[in-house]
Chain A
């Protein structure tokens, strides 16, 4: 095989490809029809020839996945700003002290030169001040928290491990634990405001279940107990035994025994119903081992219907272009397939025309109720009413419904029709129109058979999760490649959309103007005021400026949903419509974007990131979600299913959508609170520590004299205070996990960034300044002009240093104790341990032995023994603690009493609730009262009909299919033997 391919450069257009293949001098056109995208599964063939055109990052799918950017959290950015602010603050302090030094040297130092000459080279007070500026930069640099970055990373790493370790996020069925793949984004999990979710594989399992049906006016599928009450179906409910049917699919579960009874009693409509299901479809069977039938359906809905028929005894076993082999109640029948009237989006139905072995000509049709009801024979009117009732019932439970009908055909008419059909299908012009006319002609006066109800199985706990997340004020946007019907249907079944909503806007305009109008109308309805000139946003955005602006949150006058199709979205994402889209969409509680490309998913996320000051999270399972996962602040991949691309590009991954609530409400919230507490404390302790030097400057001639022993300065951040705060930020829990799940409102402060922002930082700074004042002036006052109880002097520098540093260390330890709300053994160990280590190290360093060995390094010999034995030193320490901590206690308590934040109120509620026995876990089932119905969901495109009739996809016939017996086929064994 030698040839040449000339084609376009790698790009991200999924629906276009141009190229030519030159093979032995001949040129073949390569277009999109001949291309398979990365990730496609080839079915119904054992082998095929292919040529890889682009691989890896050059594939169209990967080109769609967007750039990988380095993600940082908002706290990171804030921290950088704050560090700059602190640098400025440091410069200011140094400047003040340098000026002070200049003045002091001029006023006093100049005259004090008898005892202390100026340093060499210093000739003037101002030069001394200049030098002192740099000395103070060195002394006061501890106010810049250098170790902050390291500690922050350690905390994030620790909190990421908790995610990996959480058994409540472990999915036993495929042995998948949750995984934090990025360890630097944890606290942002506690601030999510927008969730962008994929549908298939994320919200749904992509499994369809034949759940209920209505046959000839009788509804099947519900289970009733003796008293006629409906029973909730759960794992313990007795399943229908299909063992009588050896070809049954063991995974199929059905609970209503009356349907089997009806089949066994040979009820004619029931048999016809299942016969229809086994004949009217485009499913391909595969039987590699006898009796082990596998159906390959283009849409899982069809697969579910055919599987249902199979289990009830109408086993679709094989097909050829002309025949369909069905094992009806154990008896093999070969139907002649005369025509497939294929599905498309307009018709919303499909039919087959078959000739039974007995020679009857029948048309079987299944389709959306709205369409099919128009085509029924008038004799079905009463049945229609009963079926409608059942349909409403099914739709109310969020099931996808289909109506099935049949029609016996007249031989002569059919022969005429098939001739015309043949003509039409070979016509060169207007083939589509002619065909659909013909289809419409024959699909009328149908006899209603009943309806099917299929459950698009949601992943476990999806509606509950969505409800909880909604309570936490998180907005959920569903971005799916599915079509509108399906997407909306899932929207209803997982409680995103419901009938209590004031309105659900559907944006499906196909021009830019249409889309604009639809968006405007929606906004007009939600917030008429927003069109007034006085509206703040209009004013703000009226002014042109290049800087991207942040949209404030707007409140709509009710609860609204928005559905937008990919086509309209393409217009809406263009230039001037962008703002309109984001304003309208963000006012809605729920937004569903359907038929969107992977790139559009990313664009939508980007849009919200651009205009909203909010943290976004994208969750998905497939390669088509990679782009949005990478774009969002946080990307979550659903793991444990086929395909790893989403997981590989995600920041967090787990197996089930429902774990999202635990990730956000428990891990995210804790991480956020811990991080904020850590930052607050860290800044506080550094301010309290460093500013004491600043005050001392005023009393020591601005000479850059430190208050503390230099060893203490070295060890303070490293040894004495690092572990308690790490302990707090790894173990702290303000409320337990079950409470934060029970009260999702507790999540809201994180979204509003309430626990750590510039304001909080200023408060920390003020508290630090206050503490440093206390920590300087109490020891100062206590030592001023006084003596020890044995008459010796006390106010020497070393004693003062020891006293001040002991005060400081105990105060910051008490402060961390006050901040810690969850004292585990580790916390106790760290806090008490740090204090003991301080005293141990201090006594060791100030011991005689150390002085004799390292004279120059430990000049504080004896200070600890002499000073810490004095009662007034301890009294001063106690007073410092009281004055530093008691106001904080009072302030916190009064603030919670007088101006309780909403989360304070919830905490109070929890405190009261804890006194009572724990609440029963909320197990109420979400009942919807939807009257909406139908979600006829076949494939995205037209069906396989043409392909099947052409026979191109048929392999050599399966040897089992031709026989009606279940005995092992002897031919095959013979072949194998050969």
Chain B
């Protein structure tokens, strides 16, 4: 009995009680919001989402349709050059080709020129890693430790600048656009800078520091497929030369898929082209350097305007419309089922 007495609450002062705290957390009584799938919430979710998706989808389709786009596959049109390039021994022979097209209507606004590649696996893992970011930052690094192999060094030990498969395979066709006005041919002014991301141009790529660019790259050699060293990529513009060359920077931003397009030039809106490209006949003058036929690749040149949602790809718009329609339809089906069940329930209750 004495033993039991010691457990009685009166003596709690001596032994601290082992009674658990009465806190909301420990008693699992934390205040909580308890959402539930009620008919009202489910139906409103479906109808609201449906309506939203439908309207967004229609907007997207309308704006995608307003995009003017000209896409020309020139890997067939320039079949002579393609064949020439299939044989790598002809690497130093220039090949030019012209592609004509007609604009029936003016293309107003900013016009962008892209080159597109098909079946070019820029997203292959070994391709993606085959670069040295440190080298491209202008740092003096030992690229042997990078993933650039086999495009790291020449047999004589001269390192490649830039190294790696990405840089080596840089797209090197030059495309010029000419406007055939009556009998005269006017070259459309194209901007070759300002096409890359600001962060790439200003953060990610830097030339090695030196008194001038050619000395900065002294002791290195161009990648094997290149025609000229990296410090001669743009001889006219110091700010667009070396690693800072926009074409190079854009190429180095590898694509996620085997079919992709990269921004090549922008139409400079001056003179006749202040409002965009007027209707008429045009010619692309292409210096065909980049072989693709061997791996069944294709090359395109694309002229396009843009809207808030991007280019002419209607995928998002269609996907939104379809999803919206499906959601609305499901909403109706659920309503029907619910009404039927409720009828049945009241019937049984009677």
**Which residues of chain A have a CB within 8 Å of any CB of chain B?**
108-109, 111-112, 114-117, 119-120, 135, 161-162, 164-168, 170, 172-177, 670, 699-701, 703-705, 731, 733, 737, 778, 780-801, 821-827, 848, 851-852, 855-856, 859, 861-862, 865-866, 870-872, 875-876, 879, 882-883, 886, 889-890, 892-894, 896-898, 911
Given contacts A737-B28, A784-B257, whether A115 and B310 have CB atoms under 8 Å apart is no
**Contact, CB under 8 Å: A823 / B35:** yes
B175 near A: Cβ within 8 Å? no
A872 proximity list for chain B (CB < 8 A): 309-310, 316
Determine whether the beta carbon of A791 is less than 8 Å from that of B308. no
Q: A173-B8, A789-B310 are in contact. List 10 more A-B contacts (CB 8 A).
A: A176-B18, A701-B124, A782-B316, A788-B306, A789-B307, A797-B253, A856-B133, A862-B199, A890-B46, A897-B338
Question: Which of A115, A851, A852, A882 is close to B169, meaning CB atoms less than 8 Å apart?
Answer: A115
Docked complex Cα distance between A789 and B307 (Å)? 6
B283-310 toward A: CB 8 Å interface, digit per residue (1/0)? 0000000010011100000001011111
Contact across chains for A786 and B312 when beta carbons are under 8 A apart: yes
Give Cα A886–Cα B41 distance, bound, in whole angstroms: 12
Q: Given that A165-B20, A784-B257, A882-B53 are contacting pairs, would A115 and B196 also be in contact in the complex, using a CB cutoff of 8 Å?
A: no
A787 touches B263 (CB 8 A): yes
* Interchain CB contact under 8 A, A821 and B34: yes
On chain B, the residues within 8 Å of A703 by CB distance are 121, 123-127
A782 / chain B contacts, CB cutoff of 8 Å: 313, 315-316
Asked if A797 contacts B319 (CB within 8 A), the reply is no
Determine whether B42 belongs to the interface, using a CB cutoff of 8 Å to chain A.
yes
What is the CB-to-nearest-CB distance from B313 to chain A, in angstroms, rounded to a whole number? 4
The listed residue (B7, B149, B200) touching A862 by CB distance below 8 A is B200
Say whether B255 contacts A792, CB under 8 Å. no
- Choose from B119, B124, B203, B311 the contact partner of A700 (Cβ within 8 Å): B124
- Decide: A699 and B197 in contact? CB cutoff 8 A: no
Chain A, Cβ-Cβ closest to B317 = A875
**Known interface pairs A172-B19, A704-B125. Does A111 touch B294 (Cβ–Cβ under 8 Å)?**
yes
CB < 8 Å neighbour of A886 from B133, B196, B327: B327
Please tell me if the beta carbons of B311 and A862 are within 8 angstroms of each other in the complex.
Answer: no
How far, in Å, is B20 (CB) from chain A's closest CB? 4
Interface string of B155-195 (1 = CB under 8 A from A): 00000000001001100000000000000000000000001
15 CB contacts below 8 A, A to B, read A114-B88, A115-B165, A115-B295, A700-B123, A701-B123, A703-B125, A785-B311, A786-B310, A787-B304, A792-B263, A821-B35, A822-B32, A889-B37, A894-B334, A896-B37
Q: Which residues does chain B contribute within 8 Å of A670, judged by CB atoms?
A: 28
Query: Is B295 touching A787 in the complex (CB atoms < 8 A)?
Result: no
Q: Does B254 contact A (CB under 8 A)?
A: yes
* 8 A Cβ contacts from B124-154 to A: 124-128, 130, 133-134, 137, 139, 149-150
Closest 3 CB pairs of A and B: A862-B199, A800-B256, A165-B26
Tell me whether B114 and A781 are in contact (CB under 8 A). Answer: no
Residue numbers in A under 8 Å from B203 (CB-CB): 848, 851-852, 861-862
Contact flag A859-B133 (CB < 8 Å), given A791-B266, A798-B253:
yes
* Residues of chain B in range 46-92 having any CB-CB distance to chain A below 8 Å: 46, 49, 53, 56, 60, 88
A855 contacts B330, C-beta separation under 8 Å: no
Contact A889 B316 (CB under 8 A): no
Contact in complex: A795, B256 (CB < 8 Å): yes
* Given known A108-B295, A785-B313, A851-B204, contact A882–B254 (CB-CB < 8 A): no
- Find the residue from B4, B32, B203 having the highest chain A CB count within 10 A: B32
Shortest Cβ distance from A670 into B: residue: B28
Say whether B15 faces chain A, with CB atoms less than 8 Å apart: yes
Query: Does the CB pair B256–A799 fall under 8 Å?
Result: yes
Give the complex CA separation of A314 and B137 in angstroms.
106
Q: Is the CB of B319 within 8 A of A879?
A: yes
Residues of chain B contacted by A876 (CB below 8 angstroms):
316
Closest Cβ–Cβ distance, residue B147 to chain A (whole Å): 10
Given A785-B261, A855-B133, CB of A791 within 8 Å of CB of B306: yes
* Chain B residues whose CB sits within 8 angstroms of the CB of A174 once the complex forms: 4, 7
Q: Provide the residues of chain A in CB contact with B49, threshold 8 Å.
A: 882, 886
B218 interface residue (CB < 8 Å to A): no
Q: With A786-B312, A786-B313 given, is the CB distance from A795 to B60 under 8 Å?
A: no
Contact check, A848 vs B313: say whether CB atoms are below 8 A apart: no
Q: Are B27 and A855 in contact (CB under 8 A)?
A: no
Q: Are A165 and B27 in contact (CB under 8 A)?
A: yes
- The answer to whether A731 touches B30 (Cβ under 8 A) is yes
Bound together, the chains give a CA A783 to CA B257 distance in angstroms of 9
Which residues of chain A are near B126, meaning CB under 8 Å?
A: 116, 119, 703
Q: How far is the CA of A780 from the CA of B257 in the complex (A)?
A: 9
Task: Determine if B257 and A822 form an interchain contact, defined as CB atoms under 8 angstroms apart.
Answer: no
Min CB distance B25 to A, Å, is 8
Q: Nearest chain-A residue to B26 (Cβ)?
A: A165
Name the residue on B nearest A122 (C-beta): B126
**B1-34 CB contacts (< 8 Å) to partner A:** 4, 7-9, 12, 15, 17-22, 26-28, 30-34
- Complex CA distance for A886 and B255, rounded to whole angstroms: 31
Q: How far is the CB of B165 from chain A (nearest CB, A)?
A: 5
Q: Is B103 an interface residue (CB 8 A)?
A: no
Option from A170, A785, A855 in Cβ contact (under 8 Å) with B20: A170
List, in ascending order, chain B residues with CB within 8 A of A861's CB: 199, 203-204
Alpha-carbon distance between A733 and B18 when the two chains are bound, in angstroms:
26
Q: Is B216 an interface residue (CB 8 A)?
A: no
Q: How close is B212's CB to chain A, nearest CB, in angstroms?
A: 24
Knowing A173-B7, A856-B133 are in contact, say whether A783-B256 is a contact too (CB < 8 A): yes
Name the A residues within 8 Å of B150 (CB-CB).
117, 120
Contact check: which of B121, B133, B260 meets A793 at CB < 8 Å?
B260
Cβ–Cβ contact B327 & A823, under 8 A = no
Nearest-CB distance from A827 to chain B (Å)? 8
Chain B residues whose CB sits within 8 angstroms of the CB of A112 once the complex forms: 121, 124, 295
Given the contacts A108-B121, A115-B169, A787-B306, A875 and B316 also touching, CB distance less than 8 Å: yes
Bound-state CA distance A694–B124 (Å) is 14
In the bound complex, do residue A114 and residue B295 qualify as a contact, i.e. CB atoms below 8 Å apart?
A: yes
With A883-B323, A894-B334 already in contact, the answer to whether A856 and B134 are too (CB < 8 A) is: yes
Q: Tell yes or no: B262 within 8 A of A by CB.
A: yes
Which residues of B have CB within 8 Å of A796?
A: 253-256
Cross-chain contact of A894 among B112, B121, B196, B337 (Cβ < 8 A): B337
Chain A residue contacts of B253, Cβ below 8 A = 793, 796-798
Taking a contact as CB atoms under 8 Å apart, the answer to whether B196 and A705 are in contact is no
Determine which of B36, B294, B304, B308 lies in contact with A871 in the assembled complex, contact meaning CB atoms within 8 Å. B308
Is B274 an interface residue, CB under 8 A from the partner? no
Give chain B residues whose Cβ lies under 8 Å from the Cβ of A896.
37
Known: A787-B263, A795-B260, A823-B32. A898 touches B125 (CB 8 A): no
B279 on interface, CB distance cutoff 8 Å: no
Complex CA gap A866/B202 in Å reads 14
Q: In the complex, what residue of chain B is closest to A873 when comparing beta carbons?
A: B310
Chain B residues with CB under 8 Å of A879's CB are 53, 316, 319-320, 323
Q: Is the CB of A875 within 8 A of B199?
A: no
**Shortest CB distance B306–A (Å):** 5
- CB-defined contacts of B221 to chain A, threshold 8 Å: none
Task: Determine if A699 and B124 form an interchain contact, defined as CB atoms under 8 angstroms apart.
Answer: no
* A738 and B30 alpha carbons, distance in the complex (Å): 15
Q: Determine if B97 is an interface residue (Cβ-Cβ < 8 Å).
A: no
Evaluate contact between A893 and B42: CB separation under 8 angstroms: yes
In the docked arrangement, what's the CA distance between A781 and B319, Å? 9
Which residue from chain A places its CB closest to the CB of B170 in the assembled complex?
A: A115
Q: Is the CB of A787 within 8 A of B316?
A: no
Q: B270 near A: Cβ within 8 Å? A: no
In the complex, what residues of A have CB within 8 A of residue B250's CB?
A: 793
How far does the alpha carbon of A823 sit from the alpha carbon of B31 in the complex, in Å? 8
A793 with B114: CB separation less than 8 A: yes
CB distance from A783 to the nearest CB of B (A): 7
Bound-complex Cα distance A701 to B334 (A): 43
Knowing A782-B315, A911-B36 touch, does A788 contact B295 (C-beta < 8 A)? no
- Docked pose: A706 CA to B309 CA in angstroms: 27
Known contacts A116-B165, A787-B304, A799-B256: does B124 contact A825 (CB below 8 Å)?
A: no
